[in-house]
Structure 1
Amino acid sequence: MKQPHINCNSQDVQDLVIVCGDPARVTRIAALGSNPRHISTNREFTVYETTYNHHLITVCSTGIGGVSALIALEELIHCGAKSIIRVGSAGALQTELKLGDIIVVEGAVRHDGASAAYIEPAYPAIADFSLSAKLSQYLANQQTRFASGLIRSHDSFYTDQEQQICAHWSKLGLLGADMETSALLTLGRLRGIKVAAVLCTVVEYQADLEASIAEYKDSDQLLLQSETNASSAALAALTMS
């Protein structure tokens, strides 16, 4: 039976999966493998299949935020997904992280509302160690700039206290912030599925938001290369023995 949102069944989804927010990113990730094939498109969910290191891999977009990300994750799991890596974007919370740098997530502060619908806030959002180690191994071997550590996932870029919130978590050593990872890590643990995340830095810490968005648009080549680096790491990590 096809899942109602990703419009896939168990024959359409492999046990190795990459998820990302942007549907346009799905086609770019799939193109890094061989024989990319479109499976389905419905709302924010676009699904492709690709082959990498002789393994079939599903690539699925989740849209923005934890709510739609967990819809995708639940339905992917229903179709047989076992190991899942998020390739995403993050705003830096440390000045050492520059545009294009990669973050391998070890765990996340759960400031998203989606995971709270499943389990109380004290339950930790922890990445699968084996997948995270393989991501780091690949990036180190490729001599790609990256950092491993904690991030914060939240539900809005535009709260009135955003600067104070970011300053607080920066002082506590968090590397960056996104909107999906904590929900995905939490549900992965609850469902017994391996989930990890590798994020591209798209906004530097303490940069003006509007200026950063403009810089983001003007840094297409740098950020596309960062996306390729993160995507290649995810493909390699999923297929390492």
Structure 2
Amino acid sequence: MSTPHNQAQKGEIAKTVLMPGDPLRAKFLAEHYLEDVHQFNAVRNMFGYTGYYHGKQVSIMGSGMGQPSIGIYSHELFTQYDVEAIIRIGSCGSLQKDVHLRDIIIVQGSCTDSNFAHQFELPGTYSAISSYDLLEKAVEQAKLKNATYHVGNVIASDIFYHADQDSGKKWASMGCLGVEMESYALFATAAYLGKKALTLLTVSDSLVTQEETTAKEREQTFTTMMEIALEIA
């Protein structure tokens, strides 16, 4: 069995999948944290791995950038591979002055400028939220690790280079903690299919202070977020 985007066979993917946007972050995480690792996917270089963390089977797979990309991969994992939960582990830009570089955002809900939910033909605006049991466990782990974390809304935008330079400020005025590009589609897909989803984000740059991390740092040093996700998988 395979899909247009995944060469895995039935049974090669665990019930819980950790999903970074960057496939190289998936590779780093698998190589440094999992035992008895097996690579199940390399289609389009969207690497996927299954292994064991403290005796527990876990899969890790990249999602690519943007709502359409994570929409494809999450849908196939949920519907074709019997995955029950996906935990996105990504990076984001801070929209608030008290949300600093390398802080962790545990995403409670996701706003969007995307039209992703139009497919469901709802008679209104859908509020995409995480699965509370996963969120609660993530908060507990963050406390145990003495991590600096925030819980709240983010904006999942379809646009990285936005023509409206005040867009971030407008979302910040509504309390959004950060901006990223995937969570809304993940949460909406999980809800529609009766599955579970959570997003954990590490702040990689600040739209307030203009501070930023490097691509290599984003790939290899956001380990606290990774460890929280592994513990609750």
Could you say whether these structures have the same fold, taking a TM-score greater than 0.5 normalized by the shorter chain as the test? yes
Partner of 2:132: 129
What SS does the aligned partner of 1:50 have? Answer: strand
Shift of 1:206: 2.2
TM-superposed deviation, 1:205: 2.8
Aligned Cα root-mean-square deviation (Å): 1.8
Specify which of 211, 221, 237 is matched with residue 232 of structure 2. 237
Contact kept, 8 Å, 1:5 with 1:42, in 2: the verdict is yes
- Does the 8 Å CA contact 1:99/1:223 hold for their aligned counterparts? no
Contact 1:22–1:62 (Cα < 8 Å) also in 2: yes
Who is 2:35 aligned against? Answer: 34
| Equivalent residue number for residue 151 of structure 1 | 154
Q: Which residue of 2 aligns with 1:7?
A: 7
Distance in 2 (CA, whole Å) between partners of 1:119 and 1:196 is 24
State how far apart, in whole Å, the 1-side matches of 2:59 and 2:83 are: 9
* Mapping 1:102-181, distance limit 5 Å: 102-120=104-122, 122-161=125-164, 163-181=165-183
- CA distance in 2 between counterparts of 1:60 and 1:93 reads 27
Q: Tell whether the 8 Å contact from 1:89 to 1:200 is kept in structure 2 after alignment.
A: yes
Q: Residue type matched to 1:197 in 2?
A: T
State the Cα distance separating 1:223 from its structure 2 match: 7.6
SS at 1:160's partner residue?
coil
1:117 deviates by: 3.3
Distance in structure 2 (CA, Å) of the matches to 1:94 and 1:223: 23
- Identity in percent: 25
Structure 1: segments with no counterpart, 5+ residues? none
Quick check: 1:202–1:223 contact (8 Å CA) kept in 2?
A: no
1: CA distance, partners of 2:218 / 2:101 = 8
Partners in 1 of 2:203 and 2:53 — Cα distance? 25
Corresponding residue for 2:208?
206
Provide the rounded CA distance (Å) in 1 between the counterparts of 2:224 and 2:114. 27
Unpaired stretches in structure 2, ≥5 consecutive residues: none
Whichever residue aligns with residue 176 of structure 1, its letter is G
State the secondary structure of the residue aligned to 1:105: strand
User: Is the contact between residue 28 and residue 219 of structure 2 (CA under 8 Å) also seen in structure 1?
Assistant: no
Task: Give me the TM-score of the superposition, normalised by structure 2.
Answer: 0.92
Instruction: Write out the 4+ residue segments of structure 1 that deviate beyond 6 Å after TM superposition.
Output: none
Number of the residue aligned with 1:195: 197
Could you give the per-residue CA deviations for residues 176-222 of structure 1, whole angstroms, max 9, x where no partner exists? 010001110111011000100100101113244xxx5xx422x9558
Q: Is the 8 A contact 2:91 2:218 kept in 1?
A: no
Q: Is the 8 A contact 2:117 2:126 kept in 1?
A: no
Q: 1:91 aligns with which of 76, 90, 93?
A: 93
TM-score (norm 1): 0.89
Rounded to whole Å, the distance in 1 between the matches of 2:166 and 2:183 is: 21
